[in-house]
Structure 1
Amino acid sequence: MSTASVTVTAERVGVARRWGPRLLAALTGACLALAFPAVNVWWWAWFGLVPFLLLAAGAGTFREAGWRSWWASAGFFGTLHHWVLPFLGVFWPLAVLVIGLVWVPFGLVAYGLLRRVTPARAAVALLVLPSVWVAVEALRSWQHLGGAWGLLGSSQWQVRPVLGLAALGGVWLLSFTLVAVNTGLAIAMLRGASPRARLAGGGAAVALAALPACSGLVRPEPVVTGVMRVAGVQPGPVPGPDRRVAAHLRLTGELAGRDPDVVVWGQSSVGLDPARRPDVDRLLRRAAAEVGADLLVNVDAADSSGRIAKSAYQYTPNGVVDTYVKQRLAPFGEYIPLRPVLGWIAGHTEAAEKDRITGAGLTVFEVAGRRVGPLISYESTFPDLRRGLARRGVDVTITQGSLTTFHGSWAHAQQASFEALRAVESGRPAVLVELDGTSAAFDARGRRLAWFPPDYRGAFVVNVPLSAEETPYVRLGDWVPALAGGIALGAGAAAAVLRIHRRRARR
């Protein structure tokens, strides 16, 4: 074999060794996304990170660990949020480039801790790796970055034995536990790990998986204080604001005689300003009188000043008695960040042509003698909003949603699944009514009370058992991300000091 042939063969082997693990990392990330709705392979989240951790540990250099982390992150978010990419137009490659950076800090720390594992380093990894993961999740959950969508803990929304962890530390504690279990399993499988380290890792994984499940099985039931009959109207996508209102009114009329306490319409159900359309105002009052219950409609229209806000209106036969204006707006969908600089994006994508205005704070509606906490669509992803409503003493939270833009995608089931988590976190039942999407309701323990898929068209009534449980998460707030951030920063500082001492010792 000639020298040139040997060189070419060596180059091919080098490319295969470099790109094979990277592509495998992308596959592991994509597979982990299947733990979420709509596929719902929830059990995969308990060990789906193990292949990636093994790839990171065997990277050889921090640079290669960073590349493998980027590919894994791109595979995960690209699969989980594939329904968003077609709406990004020519900017989808840039979006993939950015989301690939999310896992890089975690992957770099995993390489640093797992490349040479001793029992002591195994113990550190079991604490630090979950902390880094949760700290990054908390940072990327900032409302202007897309909210708390795709948090690892949310994959467990239908696993009631472990869902109780959310009442203690929110979705963050679920994420922490899952990553800790994955870390323990990875340590048990590392070739270079000592037998004691492997035993410690495997034992920790078993214990961390068993304890939450056992505690969830013996968790006492909340005291039910009553039942609220919540009706929802789901007409699907109806073009034109007048036709959309008419479709909602027709379905609302079908609820007469079914004794609902409240009738809920989805987000953007009223694309007209009732203050500027007296005929629409009269129709909404009449509907409330005929059905014998307050209407919660959602107005998405320009007012007399030209401003647009997405607002929940509480209608009675006497008119509007209370309103709530959406606080957390979906970036690009409802406003463009730094519009003077980035406004040109609207001409190349389906970004908002005009920014919606934001509300000043949370509101509590008094409905049929009960306290109702209203939220609107994107806001369902944020644990702190539901916690704030629980602190105000609401009996139930009701979210008005609409996913017409992402019709037929995984987004429907993913948004509906948030309600189970939010119910357990807040200790309050949660109801989601979609204009077009998956409407759902859960009790305070995350039990499914109703589930109406995107193709459902009609009106429904759900008997929602009410309970007033003050969970530790409501009392203590986001203590898990705060603690995780402290551990991550402390570990980083300790590593820096240790590195400085080693350099001095070498001199």
Structure 2
Amino acid sequence: MKMPGHWLTTPWRRSAVAALAGALPVLAFPAPSLWWFAYVALVPWMMLARSAPTGKRAAYDGWAGGFGFMLAMHHWLLPSLHVFTLVIAALLGGLWAPWGRLVRHFLTGTGRRIAGAFFVLPSGWLLVELVRSWQGLGGPWGVLGASQWQVEPALRLASVGGVWLISFLIVAVNVAFAVLVVLPRSRVPALAALVASAAVTSAAWMWSPRPDADGQVRIAVVQPGVVDGPDSRFAREEQLTRRLAAQDVDLIVWGESSVGFDLGDRPDLAGRLATLSRETGADILVNVDARRSDKPGIYKSSVLVGPDGLTGDRYDKMRLVPFGEYIPARSLLGWATSVGKAAGEDRRRGSEQVVMDVGHGLKVGPMVCFESAFPDMSRHLAESGAEVLVAQSSTSSFQDSWAPEQHASLAALRAAETGRPMVHATLTGVSAVYGPEGQRVGAWLPTDASTAAVYDVPLATGVTPYVRYGDWPTHAALLILAAWCVVQGLRTVRLRRPAPAPHVPPARTAHGSPARPGR
């Protein structure tokens, strides 16, 4: 099947179509949340790359599609970063250029090449997700598997192989549908791939270990809403927290940047927090965004306060938001501050993750803001004994965008991966809580809410396969790609090897004996 329209031969038109095709998968994420669309969303993009006249053009299709995907996924950054959002999307979109060539290579073949497409193309996509998940490139926001945050069978897959296993299967299903559309003669391997995907999901559903229920705790989330100024915000949070008295809560969580002053410099604020802790009978986990009094620089820190004041438990944010909290290579890219709301001063990084004992024998693992997007961080906290994962966040700069819901949905994946409940507490919404299998606990607190909510959070014990074995799907993908590269290399060497010279029999005399060379 060929892509219709000779107008696709114009490079810029073709690139525009590729960008639109690449943007389609974003509809599977919140806010649209058309989760089922993820399983066919890549088909138009792959059909376009397959129809490319050359491998180079297919690479451009991959790049343009990646640009469209990145821009659509991060479109809510435009009011803050302006033109720099386009620059970032263009740079990260280039990661899909090799994938576009792979699509053309595999989907224009037959037989073994088509069979290999169901392994190599998902592996190539996973490699792209792995590379762009590096914190310096923006982190794993918009990983394809994260679109399935509310699908129970997919969450079960996450407990086995993390969000990476979900991404692999989604791409494999897209490849199968693409083959059914453009290569009807290869429908047998395509149908086999669909059956295999269903079988893997069913096997995970039936045989993957489930977390063992281990009671519950009452955790309160304080969401003040949009309040101008750190003093007014603190007063509103104090007012909401006081309403939690006599509600028998075990822990109270405030959002990111909920305290705008270093508590070591402000004993009055630390004292007010201690008073709240005594009144409510619970420790309070706040988040301080301020210049430190004991070391140079500004830190974002999760700080635990008990009835006697600061407990000494503190976690300094380790993975900062590029441009939002620091500017990579500031000497070269510092101009970003003149065109948007990029960080005027770099925040400082913490050095290690921390598990806190918040009283009542409960251990929590705090993360700050987009750290909840990193599967390895929540996995490490679960390995270190955290019974509840907590993310303190603020998306107040993006209130009217898709960002708050996208961020809140990530906690469901982290809970399912680790078998530990997760609390996502924000300043201005969306706040959410999930149980140890990724199931929603209670209602989301929307962006227009200014309230304190109490959640009965189920606890669980046991170790999920993902916590035990880690990112094995990405390792398998790298092995698949390495094996394919070796096979391709051997095939190239074999094709370039010169053919042996033809054998010429020696001349014979009239009597039939070999002729002897003259002297």
Q: TM-score, normalised by structure 2?
A: 0.91
Of 326, 331, 337, the match for 1:335: 326
Q: Alpha-carbon deviation of 1:286? A: 0.8
Pair 1:506–1:183, CA change in 2 (3 A): farther
Equivalent residue, structure 2, for 1:349: 340
Given the alignment of the two structures, is residue 319 of structure 1 paired with residue 312 of structure 2, yes or no?
A: no
Equivalent residue, structure 1, for 2:431: 439
Equivalent residue, structure 2, for 1:276: 265
Task: Point out where structure 2 has 5 or more consecutive residues left out of the alignment.
Answer: 501-519
DSSP 3-state at the match of 2:441: strand
Equivalent residue, structure 2, for 1:307: 297
Whole-angstrom CA distance in 2 between matches of 1:221 and 1:172: 19
Q: Pairwise CA RMSD of aligned residues?
A: 1.9
Equivalent residue, structure 2, for 1:415: 407
Whole-angstrom CA distance in 2 between matches of 1:90 and 1:114: 36
| 1:28-427 matches, cutoff 5 A | 28-118=21-111, 120-191=112-183, 195=185, 197-213=186-202, 215-216=204-205, 221-304=210-293, 305-321=295-311, 322-367=313-358, 368-427=360-419
* Paired AA for residue 308 in structure 2: N
DSSP 3-state at the match of 2:497: helix
| 8 Å contact kept, 1:34–1:80 | no
Pair 1:13–1:444, CA change in 2 (3 A): closer
Whole-angstrom CA distance in 2 between matches of 1:391 and 1:416: 23
Sequence identity percentage? 44
Q: Which runs of 4+ in 1 moved over 6 A?
A: none
Given the alignment of the two structures, is residue 480 of structure 1 paired with residue 473 of structure 2, yes or no?
A: yes
| 8 Å contact kept, 2:63–2:93 | yes
DSSP 3-state at the match of 1:452: coil
Whole-angstrom CA distance in 2 between matches of 1:426 and 1:358: 25
Whole-angstrom CA distance in 2 between matches of 1:306 and 1:105: 44
Q: Alpha-carbon deviation of 1:14? A: 5.8
Kindly provide the CA deviation profile for residues 293-347 of structure 1, in whole angstroms up to 9, marking residues without a partner as x.
Answer: 1000000111235421101111011111111111111111111122233334323
Task: Point out where structure 1 has 5 or more consecutive residues left out of the alignment.
Answer: 1-11
Whole-angstrom CA distance in 2 between matches of 1:293 and 1:429: 19
Whole-angstrom CA distance in 2 between matches of 1:226 and 1:263: 18
Kindly provide the CA deviation profile for residues 141-195 of structure 1, in whole angstroms up to 9, marking residues without a partner as x.
Answer: 001111111111111110002221111111100001111111122122224x6x3
Kindly provide the CA deviation profile for residues 36-80 of structure 1, in whole angstroms up to 9, marking residues without a partner as x.
Answer: 111100001111112222221121211211122122222222112
**What is the aligned length?**
492
Kindly provide the CA deviation profile for residues 187-218 of structure 1, in whole angstroms up to 9, marking residues without a partner as x.
Answer: 22224x6x3x3211122123313540464267
| 8 Å contact kept, 1:416–1:432 | yes
| 8 Å contact kept, 2:225–2:448 | yes
| 8 Å contact kept, 2:210–2:464 | no
| 8 Å contact kept, 2:222–2:237 | yes
Whole-angstrom CA distance in 1 between matches of 2:154 and 2:300: 35
Q: TM-score, normalised by structure 1?
A: 0.93
Whole-angstrom CA distance in 1 between matches of 2:356 and 2:57: 54
| 8 Å contact kept, 1:428–1:469 | no
Kindly provide the CA deviation profile for residues 420-462 of structure 1, in whole angstroms up to 9, marking residues without a partner as x.
Answer: 1000111101110001121001111111003111111100000
Query: Which sits farther off after the overlay, 356-365 or 88-97?
Result: 88-97
Equivalent residue, structure 2, for 1:3: none
Pair 1:51–1:212, CA change in 2 (3 A): same
DSSP 3-state at the match of 2:66: helix
Equivalent residue, structure 2, for 1:26: 19
| 8 Å contact kept, 2:217–2:250 | yes
